[in-house]
Amino acid sequence: METRHAVLALVVAVTGVMAVRGAVAAAAGDFGTVARQVAVGGILAVFGVALVRNWDTVGA
């Protein structure tokens, strides 16, 4: 597995965990936690996808 695919897999895994945490918080009625999970998860997902897409130019 290439490093870029490992990074993408890690980003997907962490984003998935955050989505599950957000769903559990929503079921419990804790919408502050839901908002935090959505915000941080969104930032992480955008960063991870941008990193993978621009892998060859980063650090060059």
Whole-number Å distance between alpha carbons of 57 and 11? 19
pLDDT of res. 13: 92
Whole-number Å distance between alpha carbons of 49 and 37? 18
Whole-number Å distance between alpha carbons of 2 and 8? 10
Is a pLDDT exceeding 70 seen at residue 49? yes
Share the mean pLDDT of the chain: 87
pTM as predicted: 0.75
pLDDT of res. 52: 82
> What is the percent of the chain where pLDDT is above 90?
33
Is a pLDDT exceeding 90 seen at residue 27? yes
Is a pLDDT exceeding 70 seen at residue 60? no
CB 11 within 8 A of CB 44: yes
Whole-number Å distance between alpha carbons of 25 and 27? 5
